[in-house]
Structure 1
C-alpha cells in the first residue's frame, strides 16, 4: 500500500506542477496581448489627433449629409446631423477638398500647412425651371379585379 501511496503522491505532484506551468504560461501570453492592444490604441490616438475636422453650413444652419471628398481619389466623408465631419485620412499641405451638397455650388478648399479645422459655408445654385407643367386629366390607378 505504501508503494501505491508514493506513486499516487508523485502523480498528484506532477498534476499540480503541470497546472502551475500552464497557468504561468497563459498569464504571460495575456499580458503580451494587452501590451499590443495598448500600443495600437496609442498609435490610433496620435493619428486621430492629426485628422482634419470641420463643419458644413449654409445661411440657415448646418448641412447634414454634405459630402467632403479628396480631389482625385475616392476618399471622403459625409457630414453628420450637426454638419460636423472628421476626414478619415491625414491630409498634406496642398491637398484639395471638394465639398458638395445637392442644390449648392461645389466648393474647393486647398489645405494649408498644419490645418486642423475647416469651416465651410455653401451658397445655393440658381435653379430655374424651364418650360411649363401642364396637366390635362387626373391620374387614376388601374387595379385589376380579383
Structure 2
C-alpha cells in the first residue's frame, strides 16, 4: 500500500483471546478456525509492514483501540542518479582498501572478544523464574507472560502459578498481560524477581482492546496537495 490506509473493526468479536491456542503471531480461534494476529504489541511501523506485505481481506486481529487509525507509509527514497552512484562506488573502493588493512590487525582481537562475550552470556542465562500472579487478593489464571522482544512465553495456571519455559539472565524483562488488567513489565534480577506479581484493574478507556475481522481502507490524496 503506497497510500495512507485506515484500520477499523466493524463487528468486534466476543471470543476470549486468553483461551485461544497460542500461535507464532497470536492465537488460533476454534470458533471461526482462523489465526487471530495480536497487534497490541506491535509498533506503528510493524503494523504498516504487515499490511503492506499481506492480503488483508480475511485477517482477524487484536488491537488496542488507539491503534485503529490512519497509517501513513514512509515514502521510498528516490533512486540515485548514475553519476552519484558512480561517485559512491569509487569512494567505496577507496575506503575498502584502507579498511581492509585495518581490519586485518583487528580480526584476532575481535574474535577473542566475541568468544568471551558468548561465554559470559551463556553463564548469565541461568535464572529459573517462577511465581504467582494475582489481582492483589485472588490468583489470576490465564495471564500471558512473555519475554519482551520475543515470542517466548507461558501463562499462569488455575492457581495463578507459572514457571517460565526458558532460563533468563539478569536484566531480562517479562511482560504480564491479562484482559481487563494493566500490563506490567518486570525486570529480572534473580530467581525471586517474579515470585509474587499483582496486576491492577485497567481503568483508562484509551487502552481498551478490540478484536475482530480487520477492515482496511486506502486513503487517497490529491496530487495537487
Is structure 2 residue 80 aligned with structure 1 residue 80? no
Deviation at 1:119, TM superposition (A): 1.0
* Structure-2-length-normalised TM-score: 0.33
Distance in 1, Cα, partners of 2:143 & 2:191: 24
Deviation at 1:60, TM superposition (A): 3.7
Distance in 2, Cα, partners of 1:92 & 1:56: 21
Is structure 2 residue 201 aligned with structure 1 residue 124? yes
Q: Could you say which structure has the larger radius of gyration?
A: 1
Distance in 1, Cα, partners of 2:132 & 2:164: 11
* Structure-1-length-normalised TM-score: 0.50
Q: Which residue of 1 aligns with 2:145?
A: 68
> Over aligned residues, Cα RMSD in angstroms?
2.3
Cα 1:61–1:91 shift into 2, 3 Å: same
Deviation at 1:59, TM superposition (A): 3.0
Cα 1:104–1:117 shift into 2, 3 Å: closer
Cα 1:106–1:81 shift into 2, 3 Å: same
| Runs of 4+ with deviation above 2 angstroms | 113-118
Deviations 1:42-64 (A, max 9, x none): xxxxxxx9521110000340000
Which structure has the highest helix share of the two?
A: 1
Q: Is there any run of 5+ residues in structure 2 with no aligned partner, and where?
A: 1-125, 206-225
Note if contact 2:175-2:184 (Cα within 8 Å) is conserved in structure 1: yes
Cα 1:114–1:81 shift into 2, 3 Å: closer
